[in-house]
Amino acid sequence: MKWKLFVLVALIITVLSAFIRHQIPQTVSGTVQENGKPVSNATVMEKGTTNSVQTNSKGFYKLKLTGKKAPTLVISASGYQTREIKVKNSSTINITLTWIAPELEKIVDISYTPEPHRMMVMNYTTNGDAVKGKGYIDKSPTATPEFNTEEYDGITETGFRNTLRNPLSTFSIDVDAASYSNLRRFINDGTPPPTNAIRIEEMINYFDYDYPQPANNLPLSVITEMAPAPWNPSHQLLHIGLQGKTISNELLPPSNLVFLIDVSGSMDEENKLPLLKSSLSLLIEQLRPQDHVSIVVYAGAAGLVLKPTSGNDKRTIREALDKLEAGGSTAGGEGIQLAYATCKEHFLKSGNNRVILATDGDFNVGMSSNADMEKLIEQKRKDGIYLTVLGFGTGNYKDSKMETLADKGNGNYAYIDNITEARKVLVKEFGGTLFTIAKDVKLQLEFNPTKVQAYRLIGYENRALNAEDFKNDQKDAGELGSGHTVTALYEIIPVGVKSDLPEDDSLKYQRTRLTSASNSTELATVKLRYKNPNEDNSREISFAVQQQTNNAFQASENFRWSAAVAEFGMLLRKSEFAANSSYNQVLKLATSAIGKDKEGYRKEFIGLVEKIND
């Protein structure tokens, strides 16, 4: 009788255990908070697996469990104590984290550290409102920190170079404009932009300029202009403008495009995946029947969600895009490899083969180091597959990583902060963004030491090349798209002008001999090298720059506008070369050069200067 009772009890225990196990939910969700406030970008992981998601801006997460017995959640976030919570029979698990990071100095911009040359931005809010004013932060006890992991490479401004010792200046062109739209985001949010987020050449090249179209079947034209520098009239400002040949969309080669879309948990914010979808929808409308699109996504893993589809079937492409949702970790390396493999499989020999990466830049699983990705992207560049990078969002935006990837991929890089910017990049500048007409474009200037005491290139710090790189066709440089303009400015100290430059030490073993240049009116010689998109050998253009004497306010609209934008950039960077710069002078110059401004971009710039100047 006892053994029957024993069997009955064992059977009851077994049934109850099975029942309890059955009650463990398949999916858990909830919020991660600290003192009642949401913790965004926290990682919620199923212990012992790689199954994880990140919280959105409201601290919400939703995780599908793998079916393991007695699962445990591991919750972690930068600056917080990691927690472990066992999943029982409830599908809703709300989590409270404890802040353990040391007290942070309440400033907007923290200088980058020497290694690994990154800067971290700390934004603060007070009672939920964005910080206002010119860098002043509320240090009251009620101020609440928002940890921000945006990353920017450190920038050291190029100083003046002595012409006798350094007559040659060599650099790669840059048509990216991400820095401008990114700093606009900061200013519109009431926060001074981080110093290293400001790349002056990208600010200047955000705008169109009225340069002549190329002649004689060349893919580009070059113009120069010179006048006194507005911020230091004893110095001269040399303006160099390049104009890429404009090719109508109907005549552009067919495109093999792969949308590589980040759908990880960090993208679950209105200014990320939803804006990304709206932006790419604008691009879809520009596609022609001869174009085709594939869509690759990556989160915890990468996958192909749309096989190559004709631009004529916009509905199918749009439906595949609309179905995307954010969740999971960020297997960026795996996604890039799949995107390139897809593009290569459907390669168009005489077409435009391009991967379009859309992300906030937060690669953190798999092939995540810049070096690994650069190696892959450089190899694919040699195969004729280019890369366009579109950045979205705030908080964990990885500017430094995305700029590097675009540079290595023979492509371009834009930051999209609103749908208007998306329309500019993907509709108005469709040809320039996606179709290369000249690659590896380099400029080299030789300055006449009898006319130029010293010079400095404004911006382009991460585009500088060695003199010997100019004729080296193995050295990568920037690409020029259909209809794109490129502008570069040199600040020049003429011979005879008093300067603070150190005196030139005499050499023991050699002496510098000047040629007949002292009798010449030439200020410099400009040399330009480029390759046609399907060629490996470069071609060269060369011409002399003559001395000019103009008043800055009598110079062309092109000159005045570029000078105003450069001056604004120097003020934002607190540049040691800003001299007599002022926001009022920027406004005066810009207002005089606003021109037709059909799209309103220049008026918007003036509005940004006025906000900073208030």
Check: CB of residue 424 under 8 Å from CB of residue 203. no
pLDDT average, residue stretch 532-556: 87
Predicted confidence (pLDDT) at residue 120 exceeds the cutoff of 70: no
CATH code, residues 249-434: 3.40.50.410
Confidence of residue 16 (pLDDT cuts 50, 70, 90): low
415 sits in the region (left: phi over 0; alpha: psi -120 to 50; else beta) called: beta
> Rounded to whole angstroms, how far apart are CA atoms 37 and 423?
35
What pLDDT, in 10s, does the model give residues 299-350?
A: 867 789 999 999 999 999 999 999 998 887 666 677 888 999 999 999 998 8
Q: What is the pLDDT of residue 505?
A: 63
pLDDT average, residue stretch 200-217: 94
3-state DSSP of 289-340: CCCEEEEEEECCCEEEEEEEEECCCHHHHHHHHHCCCCCCCCCHHHHHHHHH
Q: What is the pLDDT of residue 119?
A: 35
Domain limits, the chain? 25-96, 161-247+437-500+518-613, 249-434
Residue 104, number of CB atoms within 10 A of its CB = 13
Q: What is the pLDDT of residue 339?
A: 92
Q: What is the pLDDT of residue 126?
A: 29
Q: Supply the DSSP symbol for 427.
A: I
Which tokens in the block code for residue 419?
């749908």
Which tokens in the block code for residue 472?
């080296």
Predicted confidence (pLDDT) at residue 56 exceeds the cutoff of 70: yes
Peptide bond into 116 cis (omega under 30): yes
Q: Which of 107-111, 372-376, 520-524, 579-583 has the lowest mean pLDDT?
A: 107-111
Q: What is the pLDDT of residue 8?
A: 59
Check: CB of residue 345 under 8 Å from CB of residue 308. no
pLDDT average, residue stretch 545-573: 90
What pLDDT, in 10s, does the model give residues 435-488?
A: 889 999 999 999 999 999 999 999 999 999 999 999 999 998 989 999 999 999
Predicted confidence (pLDDT) at residue 546 exceeds the cutoff of 50: yes
Q: What is the pLDDT of residue 205?
A: 96
Grouping H, G, I as helix, E, B as strand and the rest as coil, residue 449 is coil
> Rounded to whole angstroms, how far apart are CA atoms 482 and 462?
24
Q: Which of 590, 589, 565, 526 is nearest to 184 (CA)?
A: 565
261 sits in the region (left: phi over 0; alpha: psi -120 to 50; else beta) called: beta
The reply to whether CATH 1.10.10.10 applies to domain 161-247+437-500+518-613 is no
Cα atoms in the Cβ-side hemisphere of radius 13 Å centred on 590? 25
Q: What is the pLDDT of residue 136?
A: 28
Confidence of residue 113 (pLDDT cuts 50, 70, 90): very low
What pLDDT, in 10s, does the model give residues 260-310?
A: 999 988 888 889 999 999 999 999 999 999 999 999 998 867 789 999 999
User: Which amino acid belongs to residue 504?
Assistant: D
Question: Does 25-96 match 161-247+437-500+518-613 in CATH topology?
Answer: yes
Predicted confidence (pLDDT) at residue 115 exceeds the cutoff of 80: no
**Fold of the domain spanning 25-96:** Immunoglobulin-like (2.60.40)
Q: Cα 442 from chain centroid?
A: 21
pLDDT average, residue stretch 389-404: 85
Check: CB of residue 573 under 8 Å from CB of residue 192. no
Q: Supply the DSSP symbol for 508.
A: S
Confidence of residue 42 (pLDDT cuts 50, 70, 90): confident
Check: CB of residue 218 under 8 Å from CB of residue 539. no
